[in-house]
């Protein structure tokens, strides 16, 4: 009797067919990279590649996402700084127009090997830099870090538009076919279009060309420049679509790292979905499966993703790592036949420090109970296996799928998300202000107008209105305390409850900062105290900075003096900066379970240096919680930027009382 291959089996699951059992396809690349680098691979896997390990274990190959750090020659990775890769998973390659003069240098900078690249064009020059630090290698990171983005200011738009608008995208079918052959029948060789798995030209700009936080400000401030660049990138995207539709492939990864905070629903709907749908129409006509990689929070994106012509959601990471439960994902995506989940096991359940064996077994019990009949489900880790994962747990999960994953699974109970919950995450409720002047208003109305200016992020109006009030003899302290600060409290609450998203917070914080600059001389002369001094940074080995930047903005916006140490900050560096700046509060951010222990190291080092007693330490980041904060000896924890301000203010009050 002919046996069905892994590839045929996975394709059948994606078509929604009732196969024998739920396939278990773990992703171990990060874990493998780290252990290979450290020389700590388990004995039985020593000297083996990821593919060899999968094949020896009888697992299908996990080839959903490209391997960004496995290129044939260093040149294939040169243009990473402008979001372009030349990898085996790419059926297209690219060539710049002859008037673009490219200058590359590779050198060691602060222990990291950095590639600096300049693009000289007839309309100007842009530069970018990327590389890998030793800590990143040790943690197994599979993609290099962009230290300097090419799109820094308004003047860079036309240069990048020139580069992308005149670029030629060409087929590289031979290289891709070799990759397909390597995967063979052992899995699905998922192809990739241009760049980093971006769904649309605007997604490409957000994810590849600029600082993630700056994006929201530019998107608001420079709509025309942004539109011009979108048009240029779209020309390259259209060429790549043409080429992809001529390739021999089963599936393409079209949109990755969506998250309802960063790629919030309104942004996704207006600027991502139309192009994703277009790509889906073109490629589905050729029988290509559309794969997405929504590895973050998806509550607000659930129906938008199903409505985008996507077939597979890879790296789905449910509760307890994110808000949405596995049964809710299954109910909304798989049961009605919209999409196949590839993922579903939150990787924190693989870590002894984050969860018990019992937590994992409870999760598995619930999974089998609630995802009946179990079709359209390919089990894997949410994203990937962390280096410190307990390998026995991976074996345990595989064992349970083998024994209990026979299809159809018996019907169980499930508890779908209410439509009201979803709607509230989608709403953008900030009201629009009028263009009235405050000169003729009564006190309450005038201060309410100031509050509205901050809430709406009206940086120009706040300056006009605050100046009018100062001219009328209002005290700067009242404008600040009764007009501006209440707005930051409101925006913090709205962000916490999911009714506003990152751009609103950043724009409000900017209006607040501008207003504060205006009031500063008056506040100084009236002896009104500003908040304390806060030193904030993301710990060593961790490059996630969006959340940390939001805390920076909110803290600045509420009157704290903030020194931003950036990302990947070593313990030694933090101690030095504490010595130099003498902050009241040190804030540490970590998004990776592997970098969380750095927080303890920093706190211990501050104690050893005799600096700990003079300040408070607060910690945060998605995997951090109060229990962890207590465990590492932090003074406090905040689960979002709004709460961070509340906690910081509390500490300042306490410290003042004790002074």
Using the rule CB under 6 A, give the single segment among 42-50, 285-293, 368-376, 615-623 that binds ligand B12: 615-623
Using the rule CB under 6 A, give the single segment among 112-120, 304-312, 638-646, 651-659 that binds ligand B12: 638-646
Residue 172 is a binding residue for ligand B12 (CB under 6 A): no
Residue 641 is a binding residue for ligand B12 (CB under 6 A): yes
Between CA 163 and CA 229 the distance in angstroms is 10
Give the footprint of ligand B12 on residues 322-361 (CB under 6 A).
Answer: 322, 347-348
CA atoms within 13 A on the CB side of 72: 9
Length of the chain: 659
Query: No. of H helices and E strands in the chain?
Result: 26, 17
Give the footprint of ligand B12 on residues 368-427 (CB under 6 A).
Answer: 382-384, 386
Going by the DSSP 8-state scheme, the letter that residue 24 receives in this structure is B
* Token output for 238: 């259209």
Residue window 15-54: x/- pattern of binding to ligand B12, with contact defined by CB under 6 A: ---------------x------------------------
- Give the DSSP letter string of 95-124: E--TT-EEEEEEEEETTEEEEEEEEEETTE
Kindly give, in sequence order, each residue whose CB lies less than 8 Å from that of residue 98, ignoring residues fewer than 6 positions away: none
Between CA 229 and CA 231 the distance in angstroms is 5
Kindly give, in sequence order, each residue whose CB lies less than 8 Å from that of residue 239, ignoring residues fewer than 6 positions away: 92, 168, 169
List b or e across 279-303, with b for residues whose CB sees 16 or more CB atoms inside 10 angstroms. Answer: bbeebeeeebbbbbbbbbbbbbbbe
Member of 76, 156, 297, 327 binding ligand B12 (CB under 6 A): 297
Pairing of strands 168-171, 561-569: unpaired
Nearer to ligand B12, 24 or 216 (CB): 216
Using the rule CB under 6 A, give the single segment among 16-24, 74-82, 93-101, 618-626 that binds ligand B12: 618-626
Residue 523 is a binding residue for ligand B12 (CB under 6 A): no
Residue window 573-592: x/- pattern of binding to ligand B12, with contact defined by CB under 6 A: --------------xxx-xx
- Whether the bond into 320 is cis, omega within 30 of 0: yes
Terminal Cα distance for the chain, rounded: 82
Residue 141 is a binding residue for ligand B12 (CB under 6 A): yes
Least CB distance from residue 68 to ligand B12, whole Å? 8
Nearer to ligand B12, 483 or 503 (CB): 503
Residue 640 is a binding residue for ligand B12 (CB under 6 A): yes
Residue found by looking up tokens 């600029």 in the block: 210
Nearer to ligand B12, 151 or 167 (CB): 151
Least CB distance from residue 174 to ligand B12, whole Å? 27
Nearer to ligand B12, 169 or 351 (CB): 351
Nearer to ligand B12, 212 or 407 (CB): 212
Member of 226, 452, 552, 618 binding ligand B12 (CB under 6 A): 618
| Contact footprint for ligand B12 (CB under 6 A) | 30, 136, 139, 141-143, 212, 257, 259, 261-262, 295-297, 317, 322, 347-348, 382-384, 386, 541-548, 550-551, 587-589, 591-594, 618-623, 638, 640-641, 644
């Amino acid at each position: 009797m002919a046996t069905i291959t892994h590839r045929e089996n996975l394709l059948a699951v994606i078509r929604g067919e009732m196969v024998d059992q739920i396939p278990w396809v773990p992703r171990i690349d990060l874990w493998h990279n780290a252990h290979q680098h450290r020389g700590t691979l388990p004995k039985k896997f020593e000297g083996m590649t990821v593919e060899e390990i999968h094949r020896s274990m009888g697992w299908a190959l996990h080839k959903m996402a490209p391997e960004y750090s496995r290129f044939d020659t260093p040149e294939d990775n040169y243009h990473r700084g402008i979001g372009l890769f030349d990898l085996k998973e790419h059926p297209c390659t690219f060539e710049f127009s002859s008037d673009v003069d490219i200058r590359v240098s590779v050198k060691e900078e602060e222990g990291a090997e950095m590639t600096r690249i300049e693009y000289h064009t007839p309309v100007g020059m842009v530069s970018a830099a990327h590389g890998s630090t030793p800590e990143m290698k040790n943690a197994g990171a599979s993609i290099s870090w962009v230290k300097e983005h090419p799109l820094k200011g308004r003047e860079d738009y036309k240069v990048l538009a020139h580069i992308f608008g005149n670029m030629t995208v060409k087929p590289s079918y031979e290289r891709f076919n070799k990759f397909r052959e390597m995967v063979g029948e052992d899995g699905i060789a998922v192809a990739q279009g241009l760049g980093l798995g971006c769904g649309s030209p605007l997604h490409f700009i957000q994810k590849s060309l600029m600082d993630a936080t700056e994006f929201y400000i530019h998107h608001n401030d420079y709509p025309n420049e942004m539109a011009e660049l979108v048009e240029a990138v779209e020309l390259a995207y259209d060429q790549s679509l043409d080429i992809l539709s001529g390739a021999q492939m089963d599936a393409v990864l079209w949109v990755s790292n969506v998250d309802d905070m960063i790629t919030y629903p309104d942004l996704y709907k207006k600027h991502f979905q139309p192009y994703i749908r277009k790509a889906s129409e073109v490629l589905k006509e050729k029988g290509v499966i559309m794969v997405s990689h929504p590895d973050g929070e998806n509550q607000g994106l659930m129906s938008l993703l199903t409505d985008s012509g996507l077939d597979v959601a890879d790296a789905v990471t449910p509760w307890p790592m994110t808000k949405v439960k596995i049964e809710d994902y299954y109910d909304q995506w798989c049961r009605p036949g919209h999409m196949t989940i590839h993922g579903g096991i939150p990787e924190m359940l693989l870590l002894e420090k984050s969860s018990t064996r019992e937590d994992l077994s409870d999760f598995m019990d619930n999974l089998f109970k609630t995802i009946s009949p179990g079709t359209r489900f390919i089990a894997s880790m949410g994203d990937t296996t962390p280096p410190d994962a307990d390998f026995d747990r991976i074996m345990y999960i595989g064992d349970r799928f083998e024994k209990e994953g026979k299809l159809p699974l018996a019907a169980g109970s499930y508890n779908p998300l209410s439509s009201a919950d979803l709607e509230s995450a989608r709403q953008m409720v900030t009201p629009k202000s009028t263009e009235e002047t405050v000169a003729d208003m009564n006190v309450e109305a005038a201060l309410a107008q100031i509050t509205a200016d901050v809430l709406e992020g009206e940086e120009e109006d706040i300056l006009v209105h605050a100046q009018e009030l100062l001219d009328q003899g209002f005290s700067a302290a009242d404008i600040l305390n009764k007009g501006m600060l209440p707005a930051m409290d409101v925006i913090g609450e709205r962000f916490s409850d999911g009714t506003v998203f990152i751009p609103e917070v950043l724009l409000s914080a900017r209006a607040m900062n501008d207003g504060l600059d205006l009031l500063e001389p008056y506040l100084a002369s009236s002896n009104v105290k500003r908040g304390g001094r806060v030193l904030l940074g993301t710990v060593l080995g961790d490059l996630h900075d969006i959340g940390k930047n939001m805390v920076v903005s909110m803290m600045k916006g509420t009157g704290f003096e903030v020194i931003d140490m950036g990302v990947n900050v070593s313990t030694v560096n933090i101690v030095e900066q504490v010595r130099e700046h003498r902050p009241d509060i040190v804030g540490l951010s970590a998004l990776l379970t592997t970098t969380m222990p750095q927080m303890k190291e920093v706190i211990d080092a501050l104690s050893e240096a005799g600096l700990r007693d003079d300040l408070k330490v607060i910690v945060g980041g998605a995997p951090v919680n109060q229990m962890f904060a207590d465990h590492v000896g932090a003074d406090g924890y905040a689960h979002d930027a709004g709460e961070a301000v509340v906690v910081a203010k509390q500490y300042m009050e306490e410290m003042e009382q004790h002074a």
